[in-house]
Amino acid sequence: MADYHQQGSGPAFVYVSGIEGSGKNFYKQSAGLVRDHTVITFPLRPEGRYGMLELVDDLVSVIRDTGFERVTVLGESFGGLVVLAAALAHPHFFERMILVNSFASFPHRAKINLGVALYSVLPYSLVKAYRTKTAPHTLFSDDVEEEDRRAFREHTRDVRPEGYLTRLRIIRGTDLRARLPEIKVPALIVAGTEDHLLNSVAAARVMTAGLPRSRLKLLEGTGHMALLSNHAHVREWLSEFDEI
């Protein structure tokens, strides 16, 4: 079972992180949500032989261990793919879900194949240097302040390359588009219009079209790490479920 961090009181709100897997990059949103929610975060498995099934089991184990019967869950990027898989396997645990800059199938296969190749054959120091150089363009938009960029770098500094590689392979092998109509959990699909890592808007439209109870929300001018943006306010987004 995954370790988890819990703060606040009230209905449960669970955050599933992106491919970096630290579970620590939700802090800007937690600050508002803890006023009236129990916010639960946890790291993804760091390394080893595992697949989507194990990640879904980890999420469900965290929910069970906290004692909540139903939760609101937010999946960011890769975390959204995990949430979709969990909603298919265990729908009774999920009252609502928010998917931020996520996808049911990663739309850029060449990028995934390149990522797998880089993490497989290159020294991690070179991969990390490349990631650091490209992050300002691919991950952050202008509305993410420097202190939050530094915090992201600090939170991801010790993430093992084996974890990245395993999760890249999971992305490459997962396509849930055909099963989206089976998911009845109300879903808010959020996409930044300046996401340079993936075409989040196109991926969001695919999910919105497939999920029977969903609503699309576009964040103008916001990049891939939208939850670090000063323009993202998850607590306020919850009111939009009244329209779903």
In tens, the pLDDT along 92-114 reads 999 999 999 999 999 888 888 87
Check which CATH number belongs to the domain holding 99 and give it: 3.40.50.1820
Tally of domains in the chain:
1
Q: What angle do CA 14, 182, 237 make, to 5 degrees?
A: 35
Mean pLDDT of the chain: 93
- Position 30 scores a pLDDT of 97
Give the number of residues written for the chain. 244
| Predicted local distance difference test score (pLDDT) of residue 156 | 86
Instruction: Say if residue 171's pLDDT is above 90.
Output: yes
Pairing of the two strands 12-16 and 5-8: unpaired
pTM over 0.75: yes
Is 70 exceeded by the pLDDT of residue 1?
A: no
Q: Name the helix (H) or strand (E) containing 212.
A: none
Q: Using an 8 Å Cβ cutoff, are 60 and 53 in contact?
A: no
* pLDDT value, residue 2: 67
pLDDT in tens, 42-84: 999 987 789 999 999 999 999 999 999 999 999 999 999 999 9
Share of the chain above pLDDT 90, in %: 78
Using DSSP, state whether 71 is helix, strand or coil: strand
Q: What is the span of the domain harbouring residue 203?
A: 5-243
Contact status, residue 75 vs residue 176, Cβ threshold 8 Å = no
Q: Give the span between the Cα atoms of 191 and 199, in whole angstroms.
A: 9
